[in-house]
Structure 1
Amino acid sequence: MKIPAGLQPLIDDGVIDAVLRPLKSGKEAAVYVVRSGDEIRCAKVYKDMAQRSFQQRVQYQEGRKVRGSREARAIGKATRYGRRQQETAWKNAEVDALYQLRDAGVRVPEPHGYFHGVLVMELVVDADGHSAPRLAEVELSPLQARGFHRFLVRQVVRMLCAGLVHGDLSPYNVLVAADGPVVIDFPQVVSAAGNNAARTMLLRDVNNITACLGGWAPELLDTWYGEEMWALYEAGELRPDSELTGTFAHDESMPDLEGVRDAIRDAREEALIRQQGREAAEQDPD
Protein backbone atom coordinates (compact mmCIF):
# COMPACT_ATOMS: atom_id res chain seq x y z
CA MET A 1 0.00 0.00 0.00
CA LYS A 2 1.00 3.64 -0.35
CA ILE A 3 3.07 4.69 2.64
CA PRO A 4 1.22 7.27 4.80
CA ALA A 5 3.17 10.49 5.28
CA GLY A 6 3.36 9.96 9.04
CA LEU A 7 5.13 6.62 8.59
CA GLN A 8 7.66 7.64 5.94
CA PRO A 9 10.22 8.87 8.52
CA LEU A 10 10.10 5.46 10.21
CA ILE A 11 10.77 3.76 6.88
CA ASP A 12 13.64 6.17 6.22
CA ASP A 13 15.17 5.49 9.64
CA GLY A 14 14.77 1.71 9.36
CA VAL A 15 12.39 1.49 12.32
CA ILE A 16 9.88 -0.35 10.16
CA ASP A 17 10.41 -2.05 6.80
CA ALA A 18 6.93 -2.02 5.29
CA VAL A 19 3.38 -0.81 5.85
CA LEU A 20 1.05 -3.76 5.24
CA ARG A 21 -2.45 -2.40 5.71
CA PRO A 22 -4.58 0.04 7.69
CA LEU A 23 -6.03 -1.42 10.88
CA LYS A 24 -8.22 1.31 12.36
CA SER A 25 -8.84 4.99 11.88
CA GLY A 26 -10.53 7.24 14.43
CA LYS A 27 -10.80 10.91 15.26
CA GLU A 28 -7.50 10.96 17.13
CA ALA A 29 -5.26 8.41 15.44
CA ALA A 30 -4.87 5.98 12.57
CA VAL A 31 -3.37 2.56 13.25
CA TYR A 32 -1.50 0.53 10.62
CA VAL A 33 -0.16 -3.00 10.51
CA VAL A 34 3.56 -2.80 9.79
CA ARG A 35 6.52 -5.13 9.43
CA SER A 36 9.73 -4.61 11.36
CA GLY A 37 12.29 -7.23 10.39
CA ASP A 38 10.54 -10.54 10.94
CA GLU A 39 8.00 -9.06 13.36
CA ILE A 40 4.48 -7.88 12.51
CA ARG A 41 3.54 -4.92 14.67
CA CYS A 42 1.21 -1.96 14.60
CA ALA A 43 1.98 1.74 14.33
CA LYS A 44 -0.30 4.40 15.81
CA VAL A 45 -0.10 7.70 13.94
CA TYR A 46 -1.65 10.47 16.00
CA LYS A 47 -3.73 13.09 14.24
CA ASP A 48 -3.53 16.77 15.09
CA MET A 49 -6.02 17.75 17.76
CA ALA A 50 -9.02 19.63 16.43
CA GLN A 51 -9.94 22.91 18.09
CA ARG A 52 -13.40 21.54 18.91
CA SER A 53 -11.96 18.89 21.20
CA PHE A 54 -9.58 21.11 23.17
CA GLN A 55 -11.95 22.06 25.98
CA GLN A 56 -13.23 18.49 26.29
CA ARG A 57 -9.72 17.37 27.16
CA VAL A 58 -9.08 19.90 29.89
CA GLN A 59 -10.38 17.53 32.57
CA TYR A 60 -7.90 14.88 31.49
CA GLN A 61 -4.96 17.29 31.65
CA GLU A 62 -5.42 18.03 35.33
CA GLY A 63 -2.60 16.55 37.36
CA ARG A 64 -0.33 15.90 34.36
CA LYS A 65 3.18 17.23 34.49
CA VAL A 66 4.49 19.48 31.73
CA ARG A 67 8.03 20.61 31.03
CA GLY A 68 7.88 24.06 32.60
CA SER A 69 5.77 26.93 33.86
CA ARG A 70 5.54 28.57 30.43
CA GLU A 71 4.03 25.41 28.92
CA ALA A 72 1.62 25.03 31.86
CA ARG A 73 0.40 28.63 31.52
CA ALA A 74 -0.01 28.29 27.76
CA ILE A 75 -2.03 25.09 28.11
CA GLY A 76 -4.22 26.72 30.71
CA LYS A 77 -4.90 29.71 28.47
CA ALA A 78 -5.53 27.58 25.37
CA THR A 79 -3.15 29.66 23.25
CA ARG A 80 -1.90 28.32 19.92
CA TYR A 81 1.41 27.42 21.58
CA GLY A 82 -0.54 25.89 24.46
CA ARG A 83 -2.55 23.69 22.11
CA ARG A 84 0.66 22.42 20.53
CA GLN A 85 2.06 21.66 23.96
CA GLN A 86 -1.18 19.94 24.96
CA GLU A 87 -1.07 17.83 21.81
CA THR A 88 2.48 16.76 22.61
CA ALA A 89 1.51 15.94 26.19
CA TRP A 90 -1.54 14.02 24.94
CA LYS A 91 0.61 11.78 22.75
CA ASN A 92 3.34 11.33 25.34
CA ALA A 93 0.79 10.34 28.00
CA GLU A 94 -0.09 7.13 26.18
CA VAL A 95 3.52 6.19 25.57
CA ASP A 96 4.51 6.79 29.19
CA ALA A 97 1.42 4.93 30.44
CA LEU A 98 2.11 1.85 28.33
CA TYR A 99 5.63 1.45 29.73
CA GLN A 100 4.49 2.16 33.29
CA LEU A 101 1.55 -0.23 33.11
CA ARG A 102 3.57 -3.02 31.50
CA ASP A 103 5.99 -2.74 34.43
CA ALA A 104 3.01 -2.89 36.81
CA GLY A 105 1.77 -6.14 35.28
CA VAL A 106 -1.24 -4.68 33.45
CA ARG A 107 -2.20 -6.48 30.25
CA VAL A 108 -1.53 -3.84 27.58
CA PRO A 109 0.20 -4.07 24.18
CA GLU A 110 3.97 -4.21 24.46
CA PRO A 111 5.42 -0.88 23.30
CA HIS A 112 8.38 -0.98 20.90
CA GLY A 113 9.19 2.72 20.89
CA TYR A 114 7.98 6.18 19.99
CA PHE A 115 9.44 7.68 16.82
CA HIS A 116 8.56 10.94 15.07
CA GLY A 117 5.25 11.13 16.89
CA VAL A 118 4.35 7.51 16.04
CA LEU A 119 3.87 4.78 18.64
CA VAL A 120 5.07 1.35 17.51
CA MET A 121 3.70 -1.52 19.56
CA GLU A 122 2.64 -5.15 19.65
CA LEU A 123 -0.09 -6.24 17.26
CA VAL A 124 -2.68 -8.05 19.40
CA VAL A 125 -4.02 -11.12 17.57
CA ASP A 126 -6.67 -13.77 18.06
CA ALA A 127 -6.25 -17.56 18.06
CA ASP A 128 -6.06 -17.59 14.25
CA GLY A 129 -3.37 -14.92 14.08
CA HIS A 130 -5.77 -12.24 12.85
CA SER A 131 -6.10 -8.79 14.41
CA ALA A 132 -7.95 -9.31 17.68
CA PRO A 133 -11.60 -8.16 17.81
CA ARG A 134 -12.85 -5.66 20.34
CA LEU A 135 -14.78 -6.87 23.36
CA ALA A 136 -17.93 -5.24 21.98
CA GLU A 137 -17.69 -7.41 18.87
CA VAL A 138 -17.56 -10.89 20.41
CA GLU A 139 -20.20 -13.26 21.76
CA LEU A 140 -19.52 -14.77 25.16
CA SER A 141 -20.92 -17.46 27.38
CA PRO A 142 -21.89 -16.44 30.92
CA LEU A 143 -18.80 -18.26 32.18
CA GLN A 144 -16.53 -16.38 29.78
CA ALA A 145 -18.17 -13.05 30.66
CA ARG A 146 -17.59 -13.65 34.37
CA GLY A 147 -13.97 -14.58 33.72
CA PHE A 148 -13.37 -11.53 31.54
CA HIS A 149 -15.01 -9.29 34.11
CA ARG A 150 -12.89 -10.70 36.92
CA PHE A 151 -9.74 -10.25 34.82
CA LEU A 152 -10.56 -6.69 33.74
CA VAL A 153 -11.44 -5.59 37.27
CA ARG A 154 -8.02 -6.88 38.28
CA GLN A 155 -6.41 -4.80 35.52
CA VAL A 156 -8.21 -1.68 36.75
CA VAL A 157 -6.96 -2.42 40.28
CA ARG A 158 -3.38 -2.75 39.04
CA MET A 159 -3.70 0.51 37.13
CA LEU A 160 -5.02 2.24 40.23
CA CYS A 161 -2.21 0.81 42.34
CA ALA A 162 0.18 2.31 39.76
CA GLY A 163 -1.52 5.66 40.30
CA LEU A 164 -3.42 5.74 37.01
CA VAL A 165 -7.03 5.65 35.84
CA HIS A 166 -7.73 4.74 32.21
CA GLY A 167 -10.38 7.44 31.95
CA ASP A 168 -12.15 6.07 28.88
CA LEU A 169 -12.34 2.33 29.39
CA SER A 170 -15.10 0.64 27.42
CA PRO A 171 -15.73 -2.56 25.42
CA TYR A 172 -14.37 -0.67 22.41
CA ASN A 173 -10.85 -0.32 23.80
CA VAL A 174 -10.47 -3.85 25.11
CA LEU A 175 -9.18 -6.37 22.58
CA VAL A 176 -9.87 -10.09 22.93
CA ALA A 177 -6.59 -11.84 22.22
CA ALA A 178 -6.09 -15.59 21.98
CA ASP A 179 -5.21 -15.68 25.68
CA GLY A 180 -7.66 -13.11 27.01
CA PRO A 181 -8.44 -9.38 27.12
CA VAL A 182 -5.88 -6.65 26.41
CA VAL A 183 -6.55 -3.04 27.39
CA ILE A 184 -5.68 -0.39 24.77
CA ASP A 185 -5.93 3.37 24.08
CA PHE A 186 -4.39 5.44 26.87
CA PRO A 187 -3.97 9.05 25.65
CA GLN A 188 -6.65 10.18 28.13
CA VAL A 189 -5.12 8.37 31.14
CA VAL A 190 -5.29 10.45 34.32
CA SER A 191 -3.47 10.63 37.63
CA ALA A 192 -5.52 8.99 40.35
CA ALA A 193 -4.14 11.32 43.02
CA GLY A 194 -3.76 14.47 40.92
CA ASN A 195 -7.08 14.70 39.08
CA ASN A 196 -10.24 15.73 40.90
CA ALA A 197 -12.37 13.73 38.45
CA ALA A 198 -10.37 10.51 38.89
CA ARG A 199 -12.99 8.80 41.06
CA THR A 200 -15.79 9.62 38.63
CA MET A 201 -13.72 8.35 35.71
CA LEU A 202 -12.80 5.15 37.52
CA LEU A 203 -16.45 4.39 38.34
CA ARG A 204 -17.41 5.09 34.73
CA ASP A 205 -14.63 2.78 33.48
CA VAL A 206 -15.81 -0.09 35.68
CA ASN A 207 -19.48 0.57 34.92
CA ASN A 208 -18.84 0.51 31.16
CA ILE A 209 -17.17 -2.89 31.35
CA THR A 210 -19.80 -4.20 33.76
CA ALA A 211 -22.62 -3.03 31.47
CA CYS A 212 -21.11 -4.87 28.51
CA LEU A 213 -20.33 -8.14 30.28
CA GLY A 214 -23.52 -7.95 32.32
CA GLY A 215 -25.36 -8.51 29.07
CA TRP A 216 -23.99 -12.07 29.10
CA ALA A 217 -23.93 -12.57 32.88
CA PRO A 218 -26.69 -10.35 34.36
CA GLU A 219 -25.68 -10.91 37.97
CA LEU A 220 -22.63 -8.69 37.31
CA LEU A 221 -24.95 -5.68 37.04
CA ASP A 222 -25.51 -5.80 40.79
CA THR A 223 -21.82 -5.53 41.73
CA TRP A 224 -19.95 -2.49 43.02
CA TYR A 225 -16.28 -3.18 42.27
CA GLY A 226 -15.45 0.40 41.31
CA GLU A 227 -16.78 1.83 44.56
CA GLU A 228 -15.08 -0.91 46.56
CA MET A 229 -11.64 -0.46 45.01
CA TRP A 230 -11.78 3.34 45.25
CA ALA A 231 -12.66 3.17 48.96
CA LEU A 232 -9.66 0.89 49.53
CA TYR A 233 -7.44 3.20 47.45
CA GLU A 234 -8.49 6.27 49.45
CA ALA A 235 -7.77 4.40 52.67
CA GLY A 236 -4.30 3.41 51.41
CA GLU A 237 -5.27 -0.27 51.58
CA LEU A 238 -5.55 -1.23 47.91
CA ARG A 239 -2.95 -3.71 46.66
CA PRO A 240 -2.56 -5.37 43.23
CA ASP A 241 -3.64 -8.66 44.80
CA SER A 242 -6.41 -7.28 47.01
CA GLU A 243 -9.36 -9.67 47.13
CA LEU A 244 -12.48 -7.78 46.09
CA THR A 245 -16.02 -8.94 46.76
CA GLY A 246 -18.04 -6.65 44.48
CA THR A 247 -20.05 -5.48 47.47
CA PHE A 248 -19.95 -2.02 48.95
CA ALA A 249 -21.56 -0.52 52.04
CA HIS A 250 -23.09 2.71 50.79
CA ASP A 251 -23.66 5.51 53.25
CA GLU A 252 -27.32 5.03 54.13
CA SER A 253 -27.51 8.59 55.44
CA MET A 254 -26.89 9.85 51.94
CA PRO A 255 -30.01 11.55 50.55
CA ASP A 256 -31.93 9.56 47.92
CA LEU A 257 -29.55 6.62 48.02
CA GLU A 258 -31.90 4.49 45.92
CA GLY A 259 -31.97 7.24 43.32
CA VAL A 260 -28.19 7.18 43.14
CA ARG A 261 -28.21 3.39 42.74
CA ASP A 262 -30.87 3.57 40.04
CA ALA A 263 -28.86 6.23 38.19
CA ILE A 264 -25.76 4.03 38.23
CA ARG A 265 -27.74 1.02 36.99
CA ASP A 266 -29.28 3.13 34.23
CA ALA A 267 -25.83 4.35 33.24
CA ARG A 268 -24.62 0.78 32.98
CA GLU A 269 -27.54 -0.27 30.81
CA GLU A 270 -27.08 2.72 28.50
CA ALA A 271 -23.31 2.40 28.19
CA LEU A 272 -23.43 0.07 25.22
CA ILE A 273 -25.81 2.36 23.34
CA ARG A 274 -23.49 5.31 23.91
CA GLN A 275 -20.53 3.27 22.73
CA GLN A 276 -22.32 2.33 19.51
CA GLY A 277 -22.59 6.02 18.73
CA ARG A 278 -18.94 6.46 19.56
CA GLU A 279 -17.98 3.61 17.23
CA ALA A 280 -19.95 5.22 14.42
CA ALA A 281 -18.14 8.50 15.02
CA GLU A 282 -14.80 6.65 14.89
CA GLN A 283 -15.61 5.38 11.44
CA ASP A 284 -16.63 8.83 10.21
CA PRO A 285 -13.62 10.26 8.35
CA ASP A 286 -14.85 13.88 8.58
Structure 2
Amino acid sequence: MKTPPRLQPLLEEGLIDTVVRQLMSGKEALVYVVRCGDETRCAKVYKEATQRSFRQAVDYTENRKTKNSRQARAMAKGTKFGRQAQEAAWQSAEVDALYRLAAAGVRVPTPFNFMDGVLLMELVADENGDAAPRLNDVMFTAEEARTHHQTLLVEVVRMLCAGVVHGDLSEFNILLAGDGPVIIDLPQAVDAAGNNHAKRMLLRDVANLRDFFGGFAPDLLSTDYGPEIWALYERGALQTDTPLTGHFKKPTGPVDLGEVIREIDNARDEESARQLRMQ
Protein backbone atom coordinates (compact mmCIF):
# COMPACT_ATOMS: atom_id res chain seq x y z
CA MET A 1 0.00 0.00 0.00
CA LYS A 2 0.97 3.64 -0.36
CA THR A 3 2.99 4.87 2.59
CA PRO A 4 0.91 7.19 4.85
CA PRO A 5 2.60 10.61 5.27
CA ARG A 6 3.07 10.11 9.04
CA LEU A 7 5.04 6.91 8.40
CA GLN A 8 7.31 8.38 5.72
CA PRO A 9 9.94 9.66 8.23
CA LEU A 10 10.27 6.14 9.71
CA LEU A 11 10.76 4.74 6.22
CA GLU A 12 13.44 7.35 5.47
CA GLU A 13 15.21 6.60 8.75
CA GLY A 14 15.20 2.87 8.03
CA LEU A 15 13.03 2.05 11.03
CA ILE A 16 10.52 0.35 8.76
CA ASP A 17 10.91 -1.10 5.27
CA THR A 18 7.36 -1.36 3.98
CA VAL A 19 3.80 -0.66 5.06
CA VAL A 20 1.72 -3.80 4.59
CA ARG A 21 -1.80 -2.64 5.46
CA GLN A 22 -3.91 -0.67 7.90
CA LEU A 23 -4.80 -2.86 10.87
CA MET A 24 -7.33 -0.66 12.62
CA SER A 25 -8.67 2.85 12.99
CA GLY A 26 -9.44 3.72 16.59
CA LYS A 27 -10.59 6.79 18.44
CA GLU A 28 -7.05 7.66 19.46
CA ALA A 29 -4.83 6.30 16.70
CA LEU A 30 -4.42 4.53 13.37
CA VAL A 31 -2.49 1.26 13.50
CA TYR A 32 -0.59 -0.20 10.54
CA VAL A 33 1.11 -3.53 9.94
CA VAL A 34 4.68 -2.87 8.80
CA ARG A 35 7.73 -4.90 7.85
CA CYS A 36 11.08 -4.30 9.54
CA GLY A 37 13.63 -6.59 7.93
CA ASP A 38 12.41 -10.12 8.51
CA GLU A 39 9.98 -9.07 11.24
CA THR A 40 6.36 -7.97 11.06
CA ARG A 41 5.53 -5.21 13.53
CA CYS A 42 2.86 -2.57 13.97
CA ALA A 43 3.07 1.20 13.88
CA LYS A 44 0.61 3.18 16.01
CA VAL A 45 0.05 6.65 14.58
CA TYR A 46 -1.49 8.92 17.21
CA LYS A 47 -4.25 11.24 16.11
CA GLU A 48 -4.09 14.92 16.91
CA ALA A 49 -6.01 16.00 20.00
CA THR A 50 -8.72 17.62 17.87
CA GLN A 51 -9.32 14.36 15.98
CA ARG A 52 -9.72 11.89 18.83
CA SER A 53 -12.54 11.33 21.27
CA PHE A 54 -10.64 10.27 24.40
CA ARG A 55 -10.41 13.22 26.79
CA GLN A 56 -7.10 14.13 28.39
CA ALA A 57 -9.01 14.30 31.64
CA VAL A 58 -7.43 15.91 34.68
CA ASP A 59 -7.94 12.61 36.52
CA TYR A 60 -5.47 10.94 34.16
CA THR A 61 -2.91 13.72 33.78
CA GLU A 62 -2.76 14.56 37.48
CA ASN A 63 0.81 14.52 38.79
CA ARG A 64 2.41 13.78 35.41
CA LYS A 65 5.80 15.41 35.39
CA THR A 66 7.51 17.47 32.71
CA LYS A 67 11.27 17.96 32.83
CA ASN A 68 11.10 21.41 31.25
CA SER A 69 9.84 24.25 33.45
CA ARG A 70 9.03 26.40 30.39
CA GLN A 71 6.85 23.61 29.05
CA ALA A 72 5.16 23.20 32.42
CA ARG A 73 4.28 26.91 32.57
CA ALA A 74 3.02 26.90 28.98
CA MET A 75 0.92 23.79 29.61
CA ALA A 76 -0.61 25.41 32.69
CA LYS A 77 -1.45 28.57 30.72
CA GLY A 78 -2.87 26.65 27.77
CA THR A 79 -0.77 28.46 25.15
CA LYS A 80 -0.27 26.99 21.67
CA PHE A 81 3.20 25.81 22.66
CA GLY A 82 1.73 24.44 25.88
CA ARG A 83 -0.92 22.48 24.03
CA GLN A 84 1.74 21.02 21.75
CA ALA A 85 3.83 20.08 24.78
CA GLN A 86 0.81 18.53 26.47
CA GLU A 87 0.08 16.51 23.34
CA ALA A 88 3.65 15.24 23.23
CA ALA A 89 3.49 14.33 26.92
CA TRP A 90 0.20 12.47 26.37
CA GLN A 91 1.69 10.39 23.57
CA SER A 92 4.93 9.66 25.41
CA ALA A 93 2.95 8.48 28.45
CA GLU A 94 2.09 5.25 26.64
CA VAL A 95 5.68 4.79 25.49
CA ASP A 96 7.00 5.26 29.02
CA ALA A 97 4.37 2.90 30.44
CA LEU A 98 5.11 0.22 27.85
CA TYR A 99 8.84 0.23 28.54
CA ARG A 100 8.22 0.25 32.29
CA LEU A 101 5.73 -2.61 32.18
CA ALA A 102 7.66 -4.69 29.67
CA ALA A 103 10.68 -4.47 31.98
CA ALA A 104 8.46 -5.67 34.85
CA GLY A 105 7.36 -8.71 32.85
CA VAL A 106 3.80 -7.52 32.22
CA ARG A 107 2.10 -8.95 29.13
CA VAL A 108 2.17 -5.85 26.91
CA PRO A 109 3.45 -5.41 23.34
CA THR A 110 7.21 -4.95 23.20
CA PRO A 111 7.99 -1.31 22.23
CA PHE A 112 10.81 -0.72 19.74
CA ASN A 113 10.86 2.96 18.89
CA PHE A 114 8.93 6.22 19.13
CA MET A 115 9.34 8.96 16.53
CA ASP A 116 7.23 11.93 15.49
CA GLY A 117 4.07 10.69 17.15
CA VAL A 118 4.42 7.12 15.87
CA LEU A 119 4.98 4.18 18.20
CA LEU A 120 6.68 1.17 16.63
CA MET A 121 6.00 -2.01 18.58
CA GLU A 122 5.42 -5.73 18.50
CA LEU A 123 2.53 -7.06 16.47
CA VAL A 124 0.54 -9.25 18.85
CA ALA A 125 -0.37 -12.41 16.92
CA ASP A 126 -2.77 -15.29 17.41
CA GLU A 127 -1.83 -18.97 17.19
CA ASN A 128 -1.93 -18.76 13.37
CA GLY A 129 0.40 -15.78 13.18
CA ASP A 130 -2.37 -13.36 12.26
CA ALA A 131 -3.14 -10.14 14.14
CA ALA A 132 -4.70 -11.12 17.47
CA PRO A 133 -8.38 -10.25 18.05
CA ARG A 134 -9.68 -8.12 20.90
CA LEU A 135 -11.44 -9.96 23.71
CA ASN A 136 -14.78 -8.42 22.82
CA ASP A 137 -14.61 -10.20 19.44
CA VAL A 138 -14.15 -13.67 20.98
CA MET A 139 -16.54 -16.14 22.61
CA PHE A 140 -15.32 -18.19 25.58
CA THR A 141 -16.33 -21.27 27.49
CA ALA A 142 -16.80 -20.80 31.22
CA GLU A 143 -13.47 -22.49 31.91
CA GLU A 144 -11.64 -20.33 29.34
CA ALA A 145 -13.20 -17.22 30.87
CA ARG A 146 -12.02 -18.19 34.36
CA THR A 147 -8.51 -18.93 33.08
CA HIS A 148 -8.16 -15.64 31.20
CA HIS A 149 -9.69 -13.70 34.10
CA GLN A 150 -7.12 -15.17 36.47
CA THR A 151 -4.29 -14.44 34.03
CA LEU A 152 -5.34 -10.81 33.75
CA LEU A 153 -5.69 -10.37 37.50
CA VAL A 154 -2.06 -11.46 37.79
CA GLU A 155 -1.13 -8.85 35.17
CA VAL A 156 -3.09 -6.12 36.98
CA VAL A 157 -1.22 -7.00 40.18
CA ARG A 158 2.11 -7.05 38.32
CA MET A 159 1.32 -3.61 36.87
CA LEU A 160 0.41 -2.25 40.28
CA CYS A 161 3.60 -3.63 41.79
CA ALA A 162 5.41 -1.72 39.02
CA GLY A 163 3.55 1.42 40.11
CA VAL A 164 1.14 1.63 37.18
CA VAL A 165 -2.66 1.52 36.88
CA HIS A 166 -4.01 1.09 33.34
CA GLY A 167 -6.96 3.41 33.94
CA ASP A 168 -9.13 2.22 31.04
CA LEU A 169 -8.79 -1.56 31.07
CA SER A 170 -11.62 -3.50 29.42
CA GLU A 171 -12.32 -6.16 26.81
CA PHE A 172 -11.74 -3.50 24.14
CA ASN A 173 -8.03 -3.03 24.87
CA ILE A 174 -6.91 -6.57 25.58
CA LEU A 175 -5.81 -8.80 22.71
CA LEU A 176 -6.00 -12.59 22.74
CA ALA A 177 -2.58 -13.75 21.55
CA GLY A 178 -1.74 -17.36 20.83
CA ASP A 179 -0.36 -17.74 24.35
CA GLY A 180 -2.96 -15.69 26.22
CA PRO A 181 -4.21 -12.13 26.78
CA VAL A 182 -2.00 -9.10 26.09
CA ILE A 183 -2.83 -5.63 27.46
CA ILE A 184 -2.70 -2.68 25.05
CA ASP A 185 -3.59 1.04 24.85
CA LEU A 186 -1.85 2.78 27.75
CA PRO A 187 -1.78 6.54 27.03
CA GLN A 188 -4.09 7.09 30.01
CA ALA A 189 -2.03 4.97 32.44
CA VAL A 190 -1.50 6.65 35.80
CA ASP A 191 1.09 6.48 38.54
CA ALA A 192 -0.37 4.39 41.35
CA ALA A 193 1.34 6.31 44.15
CA GLY A 194 1.17 9.81 42.65
CA ASN A 195 -2.39 10.03 41.37
CA ASN A 196 -5.27 10.56 43.78
CA HIS A 197 -7.65 8.77 41.42
CA ALA A 198 -5.52 5.64 41.04
CA LYS A 199 -7.61 3.60 43.48
CA ARG A 200 -10.86 4.37 41.73
CA MET A 201 -9.33 3.54 38.35
CA LEU A 202 -7.87 0.26 39.61
CA LEU A 203 -11.24 -0.76 41.04
CA ARG A 204 -12.93 0.09 37.75
CA ASP A 205 -10.34 -1.83 35.71
CA VAL A 206 -10.82 -4.96 37.83
CA ALA A 207 -14.62 -4.57 37.79
CA ASN A 208 -14.55 -4.36 33.98
CA LEU A 209 -12.69 -7.68 33.83
CA ARG A 210 -15.14 -9.27 36.28
CA ASP A 211 -18.19 -8.06 34.38
CA PHE A 212 -16.89 -9.15 30.98
CA PHE A 213 -15.72 -12.63 31.92
CA GLY A 214 -18.70 -12.98 34.24
CA GLY A 215 -20.84 -13.01 31.13
CA PHE A 216 -19.32 -16.40 30.32
CA ALA A 217 -18.71 -17.64 33.86
CA PRO A 218 -21.41 -16.12 36.12
CA ASP A 219 -19.65 -17.29 39.30
CA LEU A 220 -17.06 -14.55 38.70
CA LEU A 221 -19.72 -11.87 39.20
CA SER A 222 -19.72 -12.47 42.95
CA THR A 223 -15.96 -11.87 43.29
CA ASP A 224 -14.48 -8.67 44.70
CA TYR A 225 -10.80 -8.69 43.72
CA GLY A 226 -10.38 -4.94 43.21
CA PRO A 227 -10.74 -3.76 46.82
CA GLU A 228 -8.69 -6.75 48.00
CA ILE A 229 -5.83 -5.91 45.64
CA TRP A 230 -5.83 -2.21 46.57
CA ALA A 231 -5.98 -2.91 50.31
CA LEU A 232 -2.94 -5.18 50.01
CA TYR A 233 -1.15 -2.50 47.97
CA GLU A 234 -1.90 0.23 50.51
CA ARG A 235 -0.53 -1.94 53.32
CA GLY A 236 2.64 -2.66 51.34
CA ALA A 237 1.73 -6.35 51.36
CA LEU A 238 1.10 -6.81 47.63
CA GLN A 239 3.59 -8.94 45.70
CA THR A 240 3.31 -10.40 42.22
CA ASP A 241 2.69 -13.83 43.74
CA THR A 242 0.40 -12.75 46.60
CA PRO A 243 -2.55 -15.21 46.87
CA LEU A 244 -5.93 -13.57 46.27
CA THR A 245 -9.29 -14.78 47.52
CA GLY A 246 -11.71 -12.59 45.58
CA HIS A 247 -13.44 -11.62 48.82
CA PHE A 248 -13.20 -8.35 50.71
CA LYS A 249 -14.98 -7.13 53.81
CA LYS A 250 -15.68 -3.46 53.32
CA PRO A 251 -15.06 -1.20 56.34
CA THR A 252 -18.15 0.36 57.92
CA GLY A 253 -18.46 4.08 58.48
CA PRO A 254 -20.19 7.26 57.26
CA VAL A 255 -20.91 7.49 53.53
CA ASP A 256 -18.97 10.10 51.53
CA LEU A 257 -21.82 11.57 49.45
CA GLY A 258 -19.43 13.53 47.26
CA GLU A 259 -17.57 10.34 46.37
CA VAL A 260 -20.83 8.57 45.57
CA ILE A 261 -21.86 11.36 43.19
CA ARG A 262 -18.41 11.26 41.60
CA GLU A 263 -18.69 7.52 41.07
CA ILE A 264 -22.05 8.00 39.35
CA ASP A 265 -20.57 10.65 37.05
CA ASN A 266 -17.59 8.42 36.29
CA ALA A 267 -19.90 5.51 35.47
CA ARG A 268 -21.75 7.73 32.98
CA ASP A 269 -18.43 8.78 31.39
CA GLU A 270 -17.28 5.18 31.17
CA GLU A 271 -20.52 4.09 29.50
CA SER A 272 -20.22 6.94 26.98
CA ALA A 273 -16.64 5.93 26.19
CA ARG A 274 -17.72 2.30 25.85
CA GLN A 275 -20.44 3.24 23.39
CA LEU A 276 -17.91 5.19 21.33
CA ARG A 277 -15.55 2.21 21.22
CA MET A 278 -18.38 -0.04 20.02
CA GLN A 279 -19.26 2.22 17.06
Q: 1:54 to 1:183 in 2, by over 3 A?
A: closer
- C-alpha separation between the residues in 1 aligned to 2:271 and 2:53? 22
- Contact 1:211/1:272 (8 A) holds in 2: no
For residues 183-262 of structure 1, the aligned pairs below 5 Å read 183-255=183-255
CA drift of 1:249 comes to: 1.1
Give the 3-state SS of the residue equivalent to 1:155 in structure 2.
helix
- Identify which range, 271-280 or 141-150, moves more after superposition: 271-280
For residues 56-80 of structure 1, give each alpha carbon's deviation from its aligned partner in whole angstroms, at most 9, with x where no partner exists: 4222111211122222232233222
CA distance in 1, matches of 2:242, 2:124: 28
| Change beyond 3 A, Cα 1:218–1:165 | same
Aligned AA (1:162): A
Q: For 2:127 and 2:54, how far apart are their aligned partners in 1?
A: 39
Whether contact under 8 Å (2:46, 2:91) holds in the other structure is yes
1:149 paired residue number: 149
| 2:130 counterpart SS class | coil
Question: What residue in structure 1 maps to residue 275 of structure 2?
Answer: 277
Measure, in 1, the Cα distance between the counterparts of 2:120 and 2:189: 18
Alpha-carbon distance in 1 for matches of 2:244, 2:76: 39
Identical pairs, percent: 57
- The superposition leaves residues 199-223 of structure 1 with CA deviations (integer Å, 9 ceiling, x where unpaired) of 1111111111111100001111111
> In the aligned structure 1, how far is the partner of 2:88 from the partner of 2:164?
19
Q: How does 1:20-99 map to 2 (within 5 A)?
A: 20-50=20-50, 56-99=56-99
- Which residue identity does 2:158 align to in structure 1? R
In 1, Cα distance between the equivalents of 2:233 and 2:26? Answer: 33
Counterpart residue number, 1:176: 176
Q: Is the Cα–Cα contact under 8 Å of residues 212 and 271 in structure 1 kept in the other structure?
A: no
Task: Return the structure number with greater relative CO, CA threshold 8 A, min gap 6.
Answer: 1
Task: Quote the offset at 1:55 in angstroms.
Answer: 6.2
TM-score, scaled relative to structure 2: 0.91
Which residue number in structure 1 is paired with residue 139 of structure 2? 139
Deviation at 1:52, TM superposition (A): 8.5
SS in 2 for 1:182: strand
SS in 2 for 1:72: helix
Q: Is the 8 A contact 2:19 2:32 kept in 1?
A: yes
| Cα distance change, pair 131–58 in 1 and its aligned pair in 2 (3 A) | same
Aligned residue number for residue 103 of structure 2: 103
| Mapped partners of 2:73, 2:227: distance in 1 | 34
**Normalized against structure 1, the TM-score is what?**
0.89
The answer on whether the counterparts of 1:157 and 1:229 sit within 8 Å (CA) in structure 2 is: yes
**Residue type of the partner of 1:279?**
R
Quote the Cα distance in structure 2 between the aligned partners of 1:197 and 1:271.
15
SS of equivalent residue, structure 2 residue 169: coil
In structure 1, C-alpha distance between the alignment counterparts of 2:224 and 2:38, rounded to whole Å: 45
Distance 2:213 2:20 in 1: 33
* Cα deviation 1:134-192 (Å, max 9, x = unaligned): 01110001111001111101111011111110011110000001110000001111011
Aligned-pair RMSD on alpha carbons?
2.3
Match of 1:284 in 2: none
Distance 1:188 1:38, change over 3 A: same
The whole-number CA distance in structure 1 between the counterparts of 2:149 and 2:104 is 19
Q: Structure 1: which 5+ runs fail to align?
A: 282-286
Q: Aligned with 2:206: secondary structure?
A: helix
Are residues 55 and 79 of structure 1, via their aligned partners in 2, closer, same or farther at CA, if it must alter by over 3 Å? farther
Secondary structure, aligned partner of 2:49: coil
Q: Which amino acid aligns with 1:172?
A: F
Aligned letter for 1:190? V
Q: Select between 44-53 and 149-158 the one with higher mean Cα deviation.
A: 44-53
Counterpart-to-counterpart distance in 1, 2:272 and 2:210: 14
